[in-house]
Structure 1
Amino acid sequence: MFALATPLSPRHARVTRSTPPVGHACRGIARWAAGATLVLAGAAAQAQGVDWTLIGGASETARVRQVGVVAGWTRPAPLWQGDAWRLRLRHEGVLAAWHVPQARDVVEVGYSPVLRLERPLQGSANVFFVEGSIGVRLLSHTRMADDHNMSTAFQFADMLGAGMQFGQDGRSTLGVRLQHLSNLGIKKPNPGINFVQVYYAYRF
């Protein structure tokens, strides 16, 4: 005997047709971010000179605010050594949250290779530096406001900054950065977003 399927009521049919898949993109981003964080933490734990950074940023675009954590490790040998300056290469894994008042909040994950030009200060463990980077980011959402859509989840992150290492063995670092995110024209519109960031890092 074959059972006849019960037809959906008009009300049920409307709900079924109008309800989108629940949170597939968000769950995927969350899993990706969790996996990336574990990988970064494991790599940092095995690296020489590991440091952890708390970073906060603000943007004029739609009053977006940013807070995050960075796992960083520095190549032991300088890329270049001069009489007063030296050039170092850092690797930074980023996990951050954006508060977006005019749209959905954003989760940001990414990686940046950072070139840091350092000048040790005589008679102390303090080191002044300037730094720059071009990294990559993945965003959970792209809309910052009704009139500001960044179009793609994948973004490039350009950064210029300066700061000071200080304290015992130069374990602490305080710095400021200017950061610009955009997709370099992969998809239009491409308005990008700029952040002014301050950060504190501690090397264990």
Structure 2
Amino acid sequence: MYASFTTGRRRIRARLARPLAASALMLVSLGFASAESRAAGWEPEIGFLQQGWADGVRATTAGVIWPWSRHWAWGGGHLSGYWEAALSRWSADGGDQGRDRSWITQVGVTPVFRWRPGGQDGAWFVEGGIGLTLMTPIYRNGNKRFSTAFNFGDHLAIGRNLGQQGRHELSLRVQHFSNAGIRHPNPGEDFVQLRYALSFR
């Protein structure tokens, strides 16, 4: 019984080690990419890493953010937004050709609105956005099959800025991907996601 418990713990550690190492590498790469882009005059201000879970699927995402220069006083708080570019890697149960796992690469661009109830300097925020994504190959797992490579991704999130000048950020997101009924089948996929973001400035 003890041997079985120990083996189970080793498997859990092995499953976590790879995504964590990949996430750390992506964050370092994003920092270097940001420094290069600033030197070239093209300046994403924020990089992020995100881990998501759905039924039989997990997704690791890295991306960059360009905050909008415009903002508004709205609803007793502060409304702003940003453009987000993201690269994701999905690992799904089942898939084609009888494999145990299938791997999907997804890229996406999303405009996002963010509202801070405490004003521009408030730590807490809520946000939502709808963007376009492209995945290859077309997503399939043991239970679901998408019919298009192009899909829409919409999300709602709540989060908080942390640390000196709010450079660190944590948020909890719910995100849905589907093709909005353009073609069937269109089962969609719903993720719960945890995101960490870091300002490069």
Question: Which interval holds the TM-score relative to the shorter structure?
Answer: 0.7 to 0.9
Query: What is the correspondence of 1:110-125 to structure 2 with a 5 Å cutoff?
Result: 110-120=108-118
**Secondary structure, aligned partner of 1:169:** helix
User: TM-score, normalized by length of structure 1?
Assistant: 0.71
Measure how far apart 1:169 and its partner are.
1.0
> Residue in 2 aligned with 1:71?
64
Task: Describe the SS at the equivalent of 2:93.
Answer: coil
Counterpart of 1:51, as a letter, is I
**Cα pair 2:34 2:44 within 8 Å, conserved:** no
Equivalent pair of 1:126/1:170 in contact (CA under 8 Å): no
1:177 CA displacement: 0.5
User: 1:121 and 1:185, CA in 2 relative to 1: closer, same or farther beyond 3 A?
Assistant: closer
- Give the match's secondary structure for 2:148: coil
| Equivalent residues of 2:144, 2:187 under 8 A apart | yes
Q: Within 5 Å, give how 1:90-169 maps onto structure 2.
A: 90-103=82-95, 104-120=102-118, 127-169=123-165
Aligned partner of 1:199 in structure 2 is 195
Question: Match of 1:14?
Answer: none
Q: Cα offset for 1:42? A: 9.3
| CA deviation after TM superposition for structure 1 residue 186, in Å | 1.1
* Structure with bigger gyration radius: 1
Deviation at 1:141, TM superposition (A): 1.9
Tell me, which stretches of 5 or more residues in structure 2 are unaligned? 1-29, 96-101
3-state secondary structure, aligned to 1:148: coil
Partner-residue secondary structure (3-state), 1:149: coil
- Per the TM alignment, residue 142 of structure 1 is displaced from its structure 2 partner at its CA by 2.2
| Percent of aligned pairs sharing the same letter | 33
In structure 2, do the counterparts of structure 1 residues 83 and 134 end up closer, same or farther at CA, with 3 Å as the change threshold?
closer
How does the TM-score come out when normalised to structure 2? 0.72
1:134-153 Cα distance to aligned partner (Å, 9 max, x none): 10100102242244111000
Unaligned runs of 5+ in 1: 1-36
